[in-house]
Amino acid sequence: MIDRGPNSPCLNICSLDGRGVCRGCFRTITEIAGWAGMKAGEQWDVIRRAADRRGESEPNRSK
């Protein structure tokens, strides 16, 4: 069980792309709006999804 949630991934680059994903933290508007009310495990899930989105938007990055 995860007791402690992550810090907010917000980078203060609050601009959504055409998919409705923040260009700074790669969270959706729903994830951003719900962050404070999420349980730690839900927040960690958002962090993982955002990392996946970041990877999808940077196809030429080193692996």
pLDDT of residue 3 exceeding 90: no
| Rounded CA separation 12/40 (Å) | 22
> Is residue 23 in some structural domain?
no
> Is residue 37 in some structural domain?
yes
pLDDT of residue 45 exceeding 80: yes
> Is residue 25 in some structural domain?
no
> Is residue 1 in some structural domain?
no
Domain span holding position 48: 31-56
Least confidently predicted of 3-7, 19-23, 34-38, 42-46: 3-7
> Is residue 20 in some structural domain?
no
> Is residue 7 in some structural domain?
no
pLDDT of residue 63 exceeding 70: no
Q: Using H for helix, E for strand and C for coil, what is the string for the chain?
A: CCCCCCCCCCCCCCCECCCCEECCCCCEHHHHHHHHHCCHHHHHHHHHHHHHHHHHHCCCCCC
Q: How many domains does the chain have?
A: 1
